Amino acid sequence: MGLMKMFKEDVDVVFDQDPAARSYIEVILTYSGLHAIWAHRVAHACHKRKFFFLARLISQWSRFLTGIEIHPGAKIGRRFFIDHGMGVVIGETCEIGDNVTIFQGVTLGGTGKEKGKRHPTLLDNSLVATGAKVLGSITIGENSKVGAGSVVLKDVPNNSTVVGIPGHVVIQNGKKVQKNLDHHKLPDPVYDRLNILEKEIKQLREHMNVTEGVKQNGD
């Protein structure tokens, strides 16, 4: 598909996704998410032709103007929609399918200095909500949703909803995976570690009390 036809699709998807869109001229001139996607289309074309410096230059210019950072190496499909978009970061080896939507503050990033595929893959019709972090070479399945503020570190199956830190599946294929989900029961590795340390401190205190008691009886 040519760039111009893809640009037209990028505009049309705004009207499909955003009820606030009123006219083509408004969307074309004022939607920063659209501007970032268009700049990426050009930057990615340069990147594929090994004009790496020019690609990064376009990418950084777009980041300065829109507040959205998309590495020119990222592969983005058709009808991609960024709602608002400030603070969005999309890494170099990201692969994004068709009809994908992401919101402001989303990070599609890596987890370290590993080589090769180190960023997420978002399959068709997936959605990543405000402030979510999807990290590492993982896959978000087709028709799946990542809840606002979630941190996802593992693959997400198709037709699923993920929430929490770290993210876990709560709905799959339209059915709840876990009943009576309370916010205080979400996995919290920091809290779990603090509990372990507290138990160890309690055991040490008990041991010290026993040792001091033996010394006093010996005296």
Q: How many domains does the chain contain in total?
A: 2
Res 185 pLDDT > 70: no
* 98 vs 114, residue with greater confidence: 98
Query: What is the side-by-side order of every strand in the sheet holding 101-103?
Result: 81-83, 101-103, 127-128, 145-146, 160-163, 168-172, 175-176
Give pLDDT, residue 179.
45
Distance CA 35, CA 217 (A): 80
Percent of the chain with pLDDT over 70: 87
Distance CA 1, CA 48 (A): 15
Q: Read off the pLDDT of residues 54-101 as tens digits, 9 standing for 90 and up.
A: 999 999 999 999 999 999 999 999 999 998 889 999 999 999 999 999
Distance CA 129, CA 150 (A): 8
For 77, counting Cβ atoms within 10 Å of its Cβ (0-12 exposed, 13-18 middle, 19+ buried), the class is middle
Judgement on whether residues 155 and 118 belong to the same structural domain of the protein: yes
Residue 44, domain extent: 3-183
Judgement on whether residues 14 and 121 belong to the same structural domain of the protein: yes
Q: In angstroms, what CA-CA distances link 40 with 44, 58, 61, 156, 188? A: 6, 8, 11, 26, 37
Judgement on whether residues 131 and 207 belong to the same structural domain of the protein: no
Judgement on whether residues 192 and 113 belong to the same structural domain of the protein: no
CATH number, domain containing residue 165: 2.160.10.10
Judgement on whether residues 170 and 218 belong to the same structural domain of the protein: no
Judgement on whether residues 20 and 49 belong to the same structural domain of the protein: yes
Judgement on whether residues 55 and 17 belong to the same structural domain of the protein: yes
Judgement on whether residues 65 and 83 belong to the same structural domain of the protein: yes
Q: Are 188 and 195 in contact (CB under 8 A)?
A: no
Judgement on whether residues 217 and 138 belong to the same structural domain of the protein: no
Judgement on whether residues 168 and 196 belong to the same structural domain of the protein: no
Distance CA 82, CA 104 (A): 7
Judgement on whether residues 133 and 216 belong to the same structural domain of the protein: no
Q: Which amino acid is at 36?
A: A
CB atoms within 10 A of CB 52: 12
Query: What is the side-by-side order of every strand in the sheet holding 69-70?
Result: 69-70, 89-90, 107-109, 133-135, 151-152
Q: Read off the pLDDT of residues 99-113 as tens digits, 9 standing for 90 and up.
A: 999 999 999 998 877
pTM of the entire predicted model: 0.73
Judgement on whether residues 207 and 144 belong to the same structural domain of the protein: no
Res 195 pLDDT > 90: no
Q: Are 168 and 150 in contact (CB under 8 A)?
A: no
